[in-house]
Amino acid sequence: MNELPFRHVAIVVFGASGDLAKKMTYPALFSLMANNMLPKDRTHFIGAARSKYKMEDFHKKISSGIKSSDQQVLSKFLEKCPYISLSAYDDGPSYQRLDSEIAKLESQSTGSGKNLRVYYIALPPSVFGDVSENLRKYAWHKEGINRIIVEKPYGKDYQSAKVLSNKLASLFTEEEVFRIDHYLGKDSVKSVLPLRFGANPFLSSTWSREHVQYVTVNFKEAFGAEGRGGYFDEFGIIRDVMQNHLMQWIILAGMERPNSLSVKDIHQAKLKFINDCRPVRPSDVIIGQYTASSKDPNKKAYKDDETVKKDSKASTFATAVLYIDNDRWRDVPFVIRCGKALDETRAELTLHYKTPPDSLFPSESGRTGTTFTIRDHPEKSHVLTATTKKPGRGFTVLNAPLSIDFSNPKYTDSYVPTAYEVLIYDAVRGDHTWFVPREEAEEAWRVWDDAIKNSESRNPLKYEYGSEGPKEEKDLLKQLGVEFETGEGRTVDVAKVIGDGGRVQTFAKEP
């Protein structure tokens, strides 16, 4: 561990009683401490929320999301996790109590340097303003270092994002604000940069419209919105996944080469790409909502969730088409699918390459040739399909996968942090590289605003829990000439009889 130059580190989790804190935030904090990424003797993790908890009950709640075989290590972690119950998010005395608790912990530290306070705000945008104002007024360390991590969704649309930005800017410097999108902590997403701009000329020289027919992003979850119905009713899946997580993956896959790997240059290249994106047209969006499974009585319809309105139009599935107005990507569709309660869990970005017009081994009609996939789930891998001959009689052409599976121990360190661990640690260190700057956060809404507002006025198409999604999606994909399959293992059942100087003379069925 690189020694952190702080006398004491206080990480305050707002929304500590929520689902995200239990499943993601506290497990990440525990792992950072257990793997010696944070100084154990001078770091505390303070929970803050409106829920009333006895300390024992709070510790029981957050420990239920932590996987640890060492109870002694877990117990020591919980000793560093006090909880403050806030009367309300706009209640000044509550923040004064929070400040007093942090100050008491800081006074007990024996470290050197300045004190660091990191406030992690995992709350609805509607309360960001109250929380920010009270933090700045009552709990901002006047002589130490302060940082605020803002969890998505960053507003609900372009206008609300601007309002939120202005509010934060009136209270904090941009250096103090860290807008988190956990997809930017994923190795599968970050790997796009070295794949494109590293020593891989076979990729970098073909990463454009001259060679790529279309790009797909396929995000599927086999589970529904159980327990999050109230959230989905307000935000829907385009806001929840497509406008932020998947958009970040697309930005890195589509942007031009930054001048350097500095924070400023990477952020400028990302913003340039977003500015080149056309607003997504409502006519290029399919939305759906899942109904109950006909096979499994436990897989209930979205509207069967007691936290969901019975007349809800919230989308749990969407497929959208994004176009980029620049020389690299003009007329290349980026087709994005995301959905809950589908037939599998999968997350991958794929470039579908054109078949050269003079190819001696053309692909099947309507299909692309080579594909290159960056996969995050079900396994973390890179897969390039290459056209070759299938062993055996005749001359059957095979799309064979050339793959790197990162579950192989030779490719990984002994400690592989989760995306949340990576980003929380970066925020502690003050590194903004993999966080979203203000202008980028606002401009991303400009791309999606029209599509989101239109989708909220439409009745979502129905699809059964456990299916592939709305059947109507196939019409859109057919119109675009797009398929999400990567072609791994696909064969063409036509033998090419080769002779006369290597020219293809005839086509014949394989004997």
Residues with a catalytic annotation lie at: 245
Nearest CA to 286 among 400, 421, 455, 120? 455
The distance of Cα 139 from the centroid of its chain, to the nearest Å, equals 31
Nearest CA to 277 among 235, 211, 321? 321
What interhelical angle do 71-79 and 55-63 show, nearest 10? 130
Coil, strand or helix at 457: coil
What type of residue is 292?
A: A
Cα torsion at 130, 132, 133, 134 (round to 10°)?
Answer: 80
Name the DSSP class of 281.
P
Contact 214, 333 (CB under 8 A): yes
Q: What is the CA radius of gyration of the chain?
A: 25
What type of residue is 489?
A: G
The C-alpha angle 477, 479, 480, rounded to 5 degrees, equals 65
Residues in the chain, total: 511
Coil, strand or helix at 185: helix
Coil, strand or helix at 42: helix
Q: Report how far residue 14's alpha carbon sits from residue 86's, in angstroms, rounded to the nearest whole number.
A: 10
Q: In what order do the strands lie in the sheet with 381-389?
A: 461-464, 285-291, 317-322, 334-339, 212-220, 346-353, 371-377, 381-389, 397-405, 491-492
What type of residue is 304?
A: D
Q: Report how far residue 320's alpha carbon sits from residue 337's, in angstroms, rounded to the nearest whole number.
A: 7
Contact 326, 251 (CB under 8 A): no
What interhelical angle do 247-254 and 438-456 show, nearest 10? 120
Contact 113, 7 (CB under 8 A): yes
Contact 162, 197 (CB under 8 A): no
Cα of first residue to Cα of last residue in the chain, in angstroms, is 63
Q: Report how far residue 373's alpha carbon sits from residue 384's, in angstroms, rounded to the nearest whole number.
A: 6
